[in-house]
A = this chain, B = another copy of it.
């Protein structure tokens, strides 16, 4: 049974118009074409779809079932076509974001909130959990944007600088290291380091300090949530290194001390990786603008 959308449209038109001739008009084809089509359709179905006894041709019981299907299905097609049109016009689209850096939630959420209001039709999502394979996933179009601090040169991928930040040492106020002016790699040798549960290659402390200096902390404890890390630090269970944007509230609390890493302080830059063909999309450039400016406001606040 070789059913086609054309047939559904035909059935609907015949019902609406009440007759083949009028329906043909609706569909912008000849009455003859429609008649041929009906003949073929009924042959295919093997059922009488129409009552031919009456002169303005009418739908039979089986025809009504087809009509019902048509009235269910056709609007969905139209809806999809609308979606595609919106996609083409740039009003809709997908923005699935992979974050390599676990702490990014903190500034990303406020940015996404702003974004969501400006582009309600864009399908937004954050996908943690593919921290390592994020860039390949970007190339494969499984995600549309990757937040990373290690830009690479890759074909079809662009890295846009977002903002600079400073990974800072955090310890409890009464911690032995709390009086220092700054912290060096060696200082970690006797400490329990609390980190996000990701690979070392994705942690600023290791890539920027401990690994080059070949220093291993006494112990490492992996904790998922930023708030919990701070809790453990406050109660003296360990020390941590966190980006400054996470620490803006902590600075006002008497429980913590935050110190620069090394005498010069460490500075890192965050990038957004996108596919080149996406960079022209208006919602994408808007998101990048927000991600460049909004986190800075938070850092100052």
Q: Which A residues contact B (CB, under 8 angstroms)?
A: 1, 3-5, 45-47, 51, 53-54, 58, 60-62, 65-66, 69, 72-73, 76-77, 80-81, 83-84, 87-88, 93-94, 123, 139-141, 156
Q: A61-B141, A77-B69 are in contact. Are A84 and B47 (CB under 8 A)?
A: yes
Given the complex of chains A and B, what is the CA–CA distance between A80 and B50 in angstroms?
A: 16
Residues of B within 8 A of A1 (CB): 81, 84
Given contacts A61-B141, A62-B87, 15 further A-B contacts (CB under 8 A): A4-B4, A4-B5, A5-B5, A45-B84, A46-B84, A47-B88, A53-B140, A53-B156, A58-B140, A58-B141, A61-B94, A61-B123, A65-B83, A69-B80, A73-B73
Smallest Cβ-Cβ distance to A93: which chain B residue? B61
CA distance A93 to B62 in the complex (A): 8
Shortest CB-to-CB span from A284 to chain B, Å, is 13
| Minimum CB–CB distance for A93 against chain B, Å | 8
Do A54 and B84 touch (CB < 8 A)? no
Q: Could you show 10 A-B contacts with beta carbons less than 8 Å apart?
A: A1-B84, A3-B77, A4-B4, A45-B84, A46-B88, A53-B156, A61-B94, A61-B141, A62-B87, A73-B76
A81 touches B3 (CB 8 A): yes
- State the CA gap A155–B202 with chains docked (Å): 86
CB distance from A59 to the nearest CB of B (A): 9
> A164 to B62, alpha carbons, bound, how many Å?
35
Considering the chains assembled together, what is the distance between the CA atoms of A52 and B116 in angstroms? Answer: 29
- Which residues from B are CB-within-8-Å of A81? 1, 3
A45-B60 Cα distance, complex, nearest whole Å: 35
Residue on B nearest A68 in the bound complex, by CB: B80
Least CB distance from A56 to B in Å reads 11
CB of B45 within 8 A of CB of A65, answer no
Inter-chain CA distance A1–B5, complex, in Å, is 12
